[in-house]
Amino acid sequence: EDLGVVAVGFSGGQCKPGVDAAPSALIESGLLTQLRDELGYKLHGDEQVHLYTDLVPKEDPDYRGMKNPLAVSAVTRRIADQVYEHSVKGRMTLTLGGDHSIAIGTIGGTAKATRERLGREIAVIWVDAHSDINTPESSDSGNVHGMPVAFLTGIAKDEREEYFGWLRPENQISVSKLVYIGLRDIDIGEKRILRENKIKAFSMFDVDKHGIGRVMEMALAHIGNDTPIHLSFDVDALDPMWAPSTGTPVRGGLTLREGDFICESVHETGNLIAVDLVEVNPSLAPEIDQGAHETVRAGCSIVRCALGESLL
Ligand code: DIR
Ligand code: MN
Ligand code: MN
Ligand code: MN
């Protein structure tokens, strides 16, 4: 099977340096080699980590409270093109981030490619401790990695091309085809948005109450069984015990096995078209070397499970 790989060394959607080093760390630990040699994928792409420095302007003042708005908009616009080029050819697409703002590009790209190729809307499974659905106005932090879902659904928008106005209807997803898993740290404004838009969300409460097996049945039933699925996995969905090296760790998260199970279940549908793995930050951890190693290892496991490892 063909696999398009996009390695995104970008950290401008939040304020902590280091998340840009994740793709190299994941690749150096052998992830792509495993996908090629053990899972049998034919890899496509330039096999280089993109830093997009040419797209980062010298001056990038806050706009509607957003930090680095011109840079994040320009970089995600470029990522949307990269992902689109793979996805429109029918390739499974893997994007290694980078902070979660990059999903504006990855999902913007697959949404457009899938409309063109299959005439279909995609569904998105967003696995995260956070719901990343702040509007610029509801955000306390101004970090765009807390806003990608708002821009992708049209809940947040801007007229100006250079401030995400480049997102067109064909790049967007509908709120009814969005499902969250793993939530446990949601801002007040986000809660209102989730409620008002009746968005399907399985928090850690639901994982504890029903078990991950039943949660995945319900999540996939909501999506329907022949809808193309884009899986966007924020490593902070995992408990810091398994993934300490991330910008905003929140205790009480998924076990690594629960994270792997989510990915295996999505793979098993046969409808997966794209995977993002984001927010691995090898420079952050209480015990840095050990923590970074464990987090990279967890990230590799998540990706391998999504791409079909360990299903008989
Ligand atoms: C917070 C934290 N909700 C914000 N968000 C994220 O900044 O909007 N941390 N995504 O990963
Ligand atoms: Mn998160
Ligand atoms: Mn996130
Ligand atoms: Mn398979």
pLDDT score recorded for residue 52? 98
- Ligand 1: residue whose CA is nearest its atom 10: 146
Contacts 24+ apart (CB under 8 A), 268-273: 268/311, 269/220, 269/225, 269/229, 271/225, 271/226, 271/227, 271/228, 271/229, 272/92, 272/228, 272/229, 272/231, 272/306, 273/87, 273/92, 273/93, 273/110, 273/114, 273/122, 273/228, 273/229, 273/230
As a whole number of angstroms, the distance between CA 56 and CA 33 comes to 31
- The residue whose two tokens read 């991330």 is 246
Question: Which ligand is closest in space to the CA of residue 269?
Answer: 4
The model's pTM: 0.98
Rounded to 5°, angle at Cα 178 from 32 and 7: 20
Position 312 scores a pLDDT of 63
CA 15 and chain centroid, separation? 18
Say yes or no: CB of residue 131 within 6 Å of ligand 1: no
Q: Is position 267 annotated as part of the catalytic site?
A: no
pLDDT at 289: 87
| Cβ of residue 248 lying under 6 Å from some atom of ligand 1 | yes
pLDDT of residue 241: 97
Residue 82: both structure tokens together: 């990269």
Residue 145 appears among annotated catalytic residues: yes
Ligand 1 near 99 CB (within 6 A): no
Which atom belonging to ligand 1 lies closest to the Cα atom of 132? 10
ipTM for the predicted complex: 0.95
The residue from 20, 99, 128, 260 that is catalytic is: 128
Pair of tokens at residue 284:
């952050």
Give CA separation, 267 vs 93, 141, 261, 307, in Å.
13, 34, 10, 6
Per-position pLDDT tens, the chain of length 312:
999 999 999 999 999 999 999 999 999 999 999 999 999 999 999 879 999 999 999 999 999 999 999 999 999 999 999 999 999 999 999 999 999 999 999 999 999 999 999 999 999 999 999 999 999 999 999 999 999 999 999 999 999 999 999 999 999 999 999 999 999 999 999 999 999 999 999 999 999 999 999 999 999 999 999 999 999 999 999 999 999 999 999 999 999 999 999 999 999 999 999 999 999 999 998 888 899 999 999 999 999 999 999 766
The single residue of 20, 86, 99, 100 carrying the catalytic annotation is: 100
- C-beta 141 within 6 A of ligand 1: yes
Rounded distance from Cα 128 to ligand 3 centre (Å): 5
Binding site membership of 130 for ligand 1 (Cβ less than 6 Å): yes
Is there a catalytic annotation at residue 234? yes
**Token pair in block for residue 127:** 């696995």
* Ligand 3 center from residue 236 Cα (angstroms): 7
47 an active-site residue? no
What confidence score (pLDDT) does residue 285 get?
87
Find out whether the beta carbon of 139 lies less than 6 Å from any atom of ligand 1.
yes
Quote the CA–CA distance of 147 and 115 in Å, as a whole number: 23
